[in-house]
Amino acid sequence: MRVIKGLYLPYEFFIGLVAVATLFVFGFIYSGMFLVAQAALALFLALAILELFILFIKKNPIDGERDVMNPLSVGDDNKVKLIIGSNYSFRIRAIVYDNPPHQLQLRDLKFSAMLENEQEVLFDYVIHPTDRGEYKFSNINVFCSGLTHIIQRKVVVEAKQMVPAYPSIIQMKQYELKVFAKTAATGIKKIRRLGHNNEFEQIKNYVQGDDIRTVNWKATSRRNELMVNQYQDEREQQVYAIIDKSRTMRMPFNELTLLDYAINSTLAFSNICIRKGDKVGLMTFSDKLGAKLAADRSKNQLSKIMEILYRQKTRFLESNYELLYHGIRNHIKGRSLIMLYTNIESDYALKRVLPMLRRVNQKHVLVVIFFENTEVEKATEMEPKHVRDIYLKTFAEKYTMDKKKVAMELRKNGIQTVLTTPENLTVDSINKYLELKARGVI
């Protein structure tokens, strides 16, 4: 297209010019066609001038706005809506181009519709941010044409906006619903509570399904009806999420890094803990200690956690577990549940960090959460066709076995362990928390 101060000449305009020029060529060959060519040129110019007049008679011909989730949710599908309205008194064709952030690399967002007098139309599309940070949307461009579509008017709808992309808020809400709605087939385990290590809440009338062991016989004799003690979960226990930001957490899976999976899981897990009445804290580390947030269950604690997670970035260095141990000893007061998100790749790597993990586990309940490599798992299932495939499959099986040996070694040393895939990280973390809380380990 060619632009002249907001006036666009689409391909229909040039097709018309070519058709008129062709008639003139035939007119020079056949004299009777010359008058037809002149009439066609006059008609074409008249239509173009009429189209130009009716398109530019309005000062503000198009209204529009963009509705986007704020903040965006990393790793999830976020819907974007465009609402475009016409102020013309006649029917027009509108071609709409949105300008999403450059990080998304979406270059084909084109929509078209016929708009009646003062009609609004809704367009929507989905974006999938994979990085935390600022996403800047630019203006919306609308190209309007009237009767013949040989002239177009460009209208720029002011819609510049900056939307931050935070750890997955969508997943956080989904897992909250799954845990507290107690629905089936969600991946969240419903774990039977063991013993009576919960806090006493009240005495109530017995109803079918209550544990007969909780019958209060004194209250039953006074009221002459069956009464039972009701308990609630022990509250305000300390839970800390500690995230490793070293180079091993930079490994990508399905467009997200392991660090992003750990961050999304931490947000969802922290929300569940706060809803359960526990205090939640946060710490990050790599070659040095990073962010630190003391455990609390105040109303704005989740917002503080979200802001800290939003700013975290990978440091391309080795983790210093000795420094982590001193950081835990200095900043975490009282026995706590510590959920350590890391990635231990081999038995050699475990031997280097195991002494520090054992020392942490002596004073706290330590849960080490690390990742299976799903791509390597696929290689173990392939059918070898060449010698190279045999070597590849053998290496994949050894790597997978090493991961399982690491998990076994941690458990032998009394350390709670979760070996999981990135996709199941949040579910497995929440299930482990619910299991330990039900067992009264915390």
For 281, what's the count of Cα atoms within 13 Å in the CB-facing half-sphere? Answer: 21
**369 secondary structure, DSSP code:** E
pLDDT at 198: 57
Mean pLDDT of 319-345: 92
Question: CA of 25: how far to CAs of 11, 44, 45, in Å?
Answer: 21, 17, 18
Burial letters for 350-367: b for 16+ Cβ neighbours within 10 Å, e otherwise? Answer: beebbebbebbbeebbbb
Residue 14: phi and psi, rounded to 5, are -70, -30
Token pair in block for residue 58: 């309005």
pLDDT of residue 135: 94
Q: Are 37 and 24 in contact (CB under 8 A)?
A: yes
Max Cα-Cα span within the chain: 120
Mean pLDDT of 86-97: 89
Burial of 376 (0-12, 13-18, 19+ CB in 10 A): middle
Helices H, strands E: what count in the chain? 11, 22
- What is the number of other CB atoms lying within 10 angstroms of the CB of residue 253? 16
Mean pLDDT of 142-148: 85
pTM of the model: 0.78
Confidence of residue 194 (pLDDT cuts 50, 70, 90): very low
**Residue 297 clears pLDDT 50, i.e. is over it:** yes
Residue (of 10, 286, 3) closest to 149 by Cα position: 10
Asked if pLDDT for residue 257 goes beyond 80, the answer is yes
Q: pLDDT higher for 324 or 150?
A: 324
Per-residue confidence band for 345, with pLDDT thresholds at 50, 70 and 90? confident
pLDDT digits over 180-193, tens only?
775 544 566 655 54
**pLDDT (mean) for 53-80:** 89
pLDDT of residue 185: 42
65 Cβ partners below 8 Å, 6+ apart? 82, 83, 157, 159
C-beta separation of 73 from 165 below 8 A: yes
CA separation for the pair 129, 431 (Å, rounded): 27
Show Cβ contacts of residue 308 under 8 Å, excluding neighbours closer than 6 positions: 282, 284, 291, 293
Highest mean pLDDT among 39-53, 153-167, 368-382: 153-167
Q: What is the mean pLDDT of the chain?
A: 85
Q: Kindly tell me if the per-residue pLDDT of 43 is higher than 90.
A: no
pLDDT digits (tens, 9 = 90+) for 391-403: 788 888 888 888 8
- The answer to which of 264-268, 385-389, 408-412 has the lowest mean pLDDT is 385-389
With 0-12 / 13-18 / 19 or more C-beta atoms within 10 angstroms meaning exposed / middle / buried, residue 311 is exposed
Region 36-53: what's the mean pLDDT? 80
pLDDT confidence of residue 234: 57
Check residue 231 and give its pLDDT: 64
Least confident of 29-33, 279-283, 359-363: 29-33
- Burial code (b: 16+ CB inside 10 Å, e: under 16) for 91-115 equals ebebbbebbbbeeeebeebebeeeb
In angstroms, rounded to a whole number, what is the distance separating the alpha carbons of residues 82 and 67? 6
Q: What is the pLDDT of residues 6-36, one digit of tens each?
A: 776 776 777 777 787 787 777 777 766 777 7
Q: What is the pLDDT of residues 426-442, one digit of tens each?
A: 999 999 998 888 887 76
| Cis status of the peptide bond prior to 71, with omega within 30 of 0 | yes
* Residue 412, amino acid: K
Q: What is the DSSP string of 144-183?
A: EE-SS-SSEEEEEE---EEEEEES-HHHHHHHHHHHHHT-
What are the two backbone dihedrals, phi and then psi, of residue 389, each rounded to the nearest 5 degrees? -65, -35
* CA end-to-end distance (rounded Å), the chain: 68
Residue 331's nearest CA partner among 381, 290, 274, 379 is: 290
Based on its alpha-carbon atoms, the radius of gyration of the chain, rounded to whole angstroms, reads: 33
Name residues whose C-beta falls within 8 Å of residue 72's C-beta, 6 or more positions apart in sequence.
Answer: 78, 127, 129, 135, 163, 164, 165, 166
